Amino acid sequence: MNTIPLILLLLFGSALLAYFVGKINFVLKVGIALAGLLVSSYFFLTLYGLSEKFIFHLAGFELTWQINSLSWFFGMLIFGLGILVAIYSTVYMRGKERVDFYCFALCTTIASMFGIVVSGDLLSFFFFWEIMTWSSFLLVIYYRYEAQTAGIKYFVMSAIGAYSMLIAILMIYARLGSFSFQALSAGWQGFSLGTQIAIIILFVMAFGVKAAMMPLHTWAPEAYAISPSSFTSLFSGVLSKMGIYGFVLLFYVFSAGKLSASFVDIHGTSLPGYILAWFGALSALIATLIAIVQDDAKKLLAYSSVGQLGYIILGLGLGSSIGVSGALFHAVNHTIFKGMLFLAVGAVFYRTGTRKFSELGGLISRMPYTFFVVLLGIITIAGIPPLSGFGSKWLIYEAIIQKKMVFLAVVTFAASTASFMYCYRLIFGIFLGQRDEKYDDVKEVPWAMRGPMLLLSLFTIYLGFYPYHLLNLIAEVEKTVLGIHPFAYGQSVLFSRFGSVDTMTVMNVVAVVFVIVFVLFSLLYKRSRKVGLKDIHTSGEIPGEEINLHYAIDFYQPFSRGVGAVLKRSADRLYMNFASNMEGLFDMMRYIYTGNGQTYVMYVIVFLAFVLAFSSWLI
């Protein structure tokens, strides 16, 4: 049997099995889901480097499922994070209600995402895309009533995306008579300019919703905040990448790099790509500014996710090899650090029951492993060397500056600097500062939750040393699928036409200096005396032990005053106003459809009178 349908069968099968058999006990359902995932990812690993096709006919349509380096690349993210999340869930979800439902939805989501990346035609792509939407919707509304608004918003936005994709697909089918990607990339050139623009806009809307691109991001903060943390990391880390995968398909596979032929070039980038890059950059900046003032850790991460996806979209829009490599590299990084951070915030929630910075604080000595994970996570997310986040951001910046898009570069750099602020807020609010007494005996989470987080942090350190292995994979994708000539890079050196950076040297310099200073400082001077967090200098006034001086409420108040003009505006409110205006408009219908039988009888009589009066003309 072909491997691709086997993997899909395994995943969907384990989803159903986990749901029905799982009614019996907890271990069984989690075990089935986990086993299904492990076995299918084993089969997935055997697909490395192959390009297989599985073609079958259904209802008169030819459906193609294929694996190539691009689908393998995204599949790697799906299975990598999917397994870690499943392991984490075994403890996180224990004792919660409806675990069978959770397992079912999780497996279905993973299966559908894999389905998306192996789809070789628009029909199965759309089919799996819809499965992904509703299965993730089921997980968003896991906490039923409190998740209602978030769920509805997610579903409405996804539906808008899905319908625009459907229209685009039908437009393509009407012109080409085929759903396959190959026919599309061959026939793209034949479309008129208007059709090309329409298809691009419709697809960008569809993919933009899933990639939470501004201004289509409004579902993301609430949906991320309310869904179970174990799933959120998959949601943000991988599910949003499906939007990115869509963008890659649209700009590099469907149109096969022919966009610049039909559109104006700006700084060597086709107009659609340039506009997309601006959307990405503005998403990065605005979402980062909003993230800074959040009080809910998961909302902060959600907005940060929107911002980081903005970088990826920006890199894809640029279109040069270095930009696309940066974008794909950042996609992997984003999966890693968003996985780490959402899992870590989930771990904190698991132990303390809150995600609000104003209620947490000082957990560093109680949850040191989680702290370490968050520390590495924020270093990566901020793009500070020597961890892997720097490599991808470096590539994206070099790509922008090479194209001389100076204003784009300024916006991107500003967004990146602003991200330091929310990074600090995240780690300070939860782990540093003074601890409330009620958290004095909080314990570190079990190993099944620690393990996945620590494993992800190892990845970010490793990629910080050697971006080489990942870049090889990306170069393979660019060569075989995207038709871009990959840029030069060495074992650990990243080159651009502009400059180069040796990640290995950076890592070594930092490590060596740190070790020397640390040894000299800590071991030669053994003169530190540990005192409690409440034993601080307060200018003579001694607050009682019970008074908590954790500075967490309105942490960046001067900042919010300074950028108030930006924060005041909200795409969400705009849509809500639009919706309520529409509701008002449709309310006018009530004057016609009153629900009163007599009115309807009157309509019928008026109509009949009308017909009678003018019947002579009609005949």
Partner 1 sequence: MSPMNIIWMIAMPFIGAAIGLLYIGISRNITARVQNRFGPPPYQNIIDIIKLYSKKTAITHGVMFHLGPVLAITGTISTLMFVPILTGNYPIYLFSFQGDLILLMYIMVFGCLAMALGAGQSGNPNSAIGVSRGLTQMFGYEVPFVIALIILMVRFDTSSVLDIIKAQDTVAHWNIFRSPFSFIAAIAAFLGMMGNKPFDIVFAPAEISSGPPSEYGGKYLALMQTNRGLFAFVKLVLYTDLFLGGAGDFITLILKTFALFLIPLFIGIVNPRFRTEQAMTFFWKWPTAIGVVGLVLVLL
* Site residues (CB under 8 A) for partner 1, limited to 485-504: 493, 496, 498-502
26 or 495: CB nearest partner 1: 495
Q: In the complex with partner 1, which residue's Cβ is closer, 22 or 389?
A: 389
Instruction: State which of residues 160, 266, 414, 455 lies at the interface with partner 1 (CB under 8 A).
Output: 414
Instruction: Give 45 or 519: the residue with its C-beta nearer to partner 1.
Output: 519
Kindly determine how many residues on this chain lie close enough to bind partner 1 according to the rule CB under 8 A: 73
Among 130, 533, 567, 575, binds partner 1 (CB under 8 A): 533
Q: Which of 189, 522, 577, 580 binds partner 1 (CB under 8 A)?
A: 522
Selected binder of partner 1 within 424, 462, 466, 468 (CB under 8 A): 424
Distance of CA 564 to the CA centre of its chain: 27
Binding test (CB under 8 A) with partner 1, winner from 523, 528, 591, 592:
528
Q: Does 330 bind partner 1 (CB under 8 A)?
A: no
Cis peptide bond N-terminal to 385, omega within 30: no
- Residues 453 to 492: which contact partner 1 by CB under 8 A? none
Both tokens of residue 12?
């969907």
Cα angle 143, 213, 307 (rounded to 5 degrees) comes to 85
Q: Does the protein bind partner 1 through residue 359 (CB under 8 A)?
A: no
- In the chain, the largest separation of any two C-alpha atoms, in whole Å, equals 111
Residue partners of 306: CB distance under 8 A and separation at least 6: 212, 213, 214, 217, 220, 221, 283, 287, 291
Return left, alpha or beta for 501; rule: phi > 0 is left, psi -120 to 50 is alpha, else beta. beta
CA dihedral 332, 338, 341, 343 (to 10 degrees): -100
| Identity of the residue, 410 or 606, whose beta carbon is nearer to partner 1 in the bound complex | 410
Nearer to partner 1, 351 or 366 (CB): 366
State the nearest-atom distance from the C-beta of 66 to partner 1, in Å: 38
Of the candidate residues 409, 454, 455, 567, the single one contacting partner 1 (CB under 8 A): 409
CB of 501 to partner 1, least distance (A): 5
Least separation in angstroms between residue 355's CB and partner 1 is 19
Task: Kindly tell me which residue out of 38, 167, 432, 454 binds partner 1, with binding defined by CB under 8 A.
Answer: 432
Smallest gap from Cβ 399 to partner 1, in A, equals 11
- Mark the segment that binds partner 1 (CB under 8 A) among 14-22, 166-174, 199-207, 414-422: 414-422
Exactly one of 509, 553, 566, 576 binds partner 1 (CB under 8 A); that residue is: 509
Q: Which is nearer to partner 1, 450 or 550 (CB)?
A: 550
Instruction: State yes or no: residue 51 binds partner 1 (CB under 8 A).
Output: no
Report the residue number, 324 or 363, with the smaller CB distance to partner 1.
363
Among 264, 410, 553, 611, binds partner 1 (CB under 8 A): 410
Interface pick for partner 1 out of 58, 513, 582, 606 (rule CB under 8 A): 513
Among 151, 326, 362, 486, binds partner 1 (CB under 8 A): 362
Across 104-131, b (16+ Cβ under 10 Å) vs e yields bbbbbbbbbbbbbbbbbbbbbbbbbbbb
By CB under 8 A, tell whether 586 contacts partner 1.
no
| Environment class of 545 (CB within 10 Å of its CB; exposed 0-12, middle 13-18, buried 19+) | exposed
Q: Which is nearer to partner 1, 17 or 506 (CB)?
A: 506
Q: Which residues pair with 500 in a beta bridge?
A: 495
For partner 1, the closer of residues 266 and 448 by Cβ is 266
Collapsing DSSP to helix, strand or coil, 286 comes out as helix
Among 118, 398, 460, 473, binds partner 1 (CB under 8 A): 398
446 contacts: CB under 8 Å, gap ≥ 6: 91
| 68 contact partners, CB below 8 Å, separation of at least 6 | 51, 480, 481
Looking at the Cβ atoms of 230 and 416, the one nearer to partner 1 is 416
* Cβ atoms within 10 Å of 471's Cβ, excluding its own: 22
CB under 8 A: which stretch of 20-28, 116-124, 141-149, 402-410 binds partner 1? Answer: 402-410
Residue 95: closest CA among 200, 170, 25, 8: 25
Task: Report if residue 48 touches partner 1, rule: CB under 8 A.
Answer: no
Residue that has been written with the tokens 């579902």 in this structure: 219
Gap between the Cα atoms of 565 and 438, Å rounded: 38
Residue whose entry in the numeric block shows the structure tokens 């625009």: 164
Distance of alpha carbon 123 from alpha carbon 58, whole angstroms: 11
- Asked if 323 and 396 touch (Cβ cutoff 8 Å), the reply is yes
Which of 58/516 has CB closer to partner 1? Answer: 516
- Candidates 34-42, 316-324, 326-334, 361-369: pick the segment binding partner 1 (CB under 8 A): 361-369
Considering only residues 239 to 298 of the shown chain, the ones binding partner 1 according to CB under 8 A are: none
Contact of 359 with 433, CB cutoff 8 Å: no
Residues 368-397 that bind partner 1 (CB under 8 A): 368, 371, 375, 382-385, 390, 393-394, 397
The continuous run of DSSP H or E covering 58 comes out as strand 52-58
Strands 61-67, 52-58: parallel, antiparallel or unpaired by DSSP?
Answer: antiparallel
Element (H, E) at 500: strand 500-502
Nearer to partner 1, 208 or 467 (CB): 467
Span from 56-64, 417-425, 479-487, 575-583 in contact with partner 1 (CB under 8 A): 417-425
**Binding to partner 1 (CB under 8 A): which residues in 541-580?**
549-551, 555-556, 558-559, 561-562
* C-alpha to C-alpha distances, 214 to 283, 437, 531, 539, nearest whole angstrom: 5, 41, 47, 47
Burial label for 448, CB within 10 Å (0-12, 13-18, 19+), is middle
534 lines the binding site for partner 1 (CB under 8 A): yes
Query: Is the CB of 472 or the CB of 522 nearer to partner 1?
Result: 522
Toward partner 1, which CB reaches closer, 101 or 424? 424
**Subset of residues 161 to 220 that bind partner 1, contact rule: CB under 8 A:** none
